[in-house]
Amino acid sequence: MFTGLITSKTRIRILMRLFLNPEGNAYLRELAEEFAVSPSQVKDELSQLSEAGLLESEKQGRQIHYRANRRHPLFPELHSMVHKALGMDRIVDSVIERLGRLELAFLLDDYAEGRDTGIIDLALVGDIDPANLADLVRKTERYIGRKIRTLVLTPEEYTRMRPVLEKRPTLPLWANRDVVDRHDGVAKHDWVSFPVGREGWS
């Protein structure tokens, strides 16, 4: 199915950048600077991925912004592959689903934008045992080869801090179904489209 798709390191990084968070977008020079490669190299890859229908583009001012094409038949598989490659599925299975009284979990900053920087900022909302969390995080870090920094909030703290958090890039990972119903400030559509844990939206 994917024969001929993964042909270069730059292409892999573009797919990871745009398919981790399909709501995000990026333009040519931004990607070239981020990957430390020539703009022409990025342009070639963007053109080929666009011609294959995997990317959509939109002109914003003088720049062309690219994003993952959710309507492409391969989108679900690529989206899932990127999550597994970056360890997101392991975070859900090994950390989030073992925390007990968890309400919400989401990524912040770099990984929320699809940037594989090696440091995953994970926000957790609920009644969480710090010692249990620290143990789960250490084990998961060794498995995925990335550092996990956690921001633990009670539901009340999350309510107070949400306006500030919303100014930062965020990407939902998991949500308790009842909690999403209860929080009028948590838009359901933000969670429905994301492959979350067994107790979350799907």
Give residue 181's pLDDT.
52
Higher pLDDT pick, 96 / 183: 96
The alpha helices in the chain, defined as continuous H runs, are 9-19, 28-35, 39-51, 75-86, 88-94, 130-144, 155-165, 177-182, 189-192
Domains of the chain: 9-75 (1.10.10.10), 87-192 (3.30.460)
DSSP state of 118: S
Residue range 117-144: average pLDDT? 89
The pLDDT of residue 66 is above 70: yes
Give residue 29's pLDDT.
92
The Cα 76–Cα 71 span in angstroms is: 9
85 pLDDT tier (thresholds 50, 70, 90): confident
Give residue 177's pLDDT.
66
The alpha helices in 36-127, defined as continuous H runs, are 39-51, 75-86, 88-94
Higher pLDDT pick, 95 / 184: 95
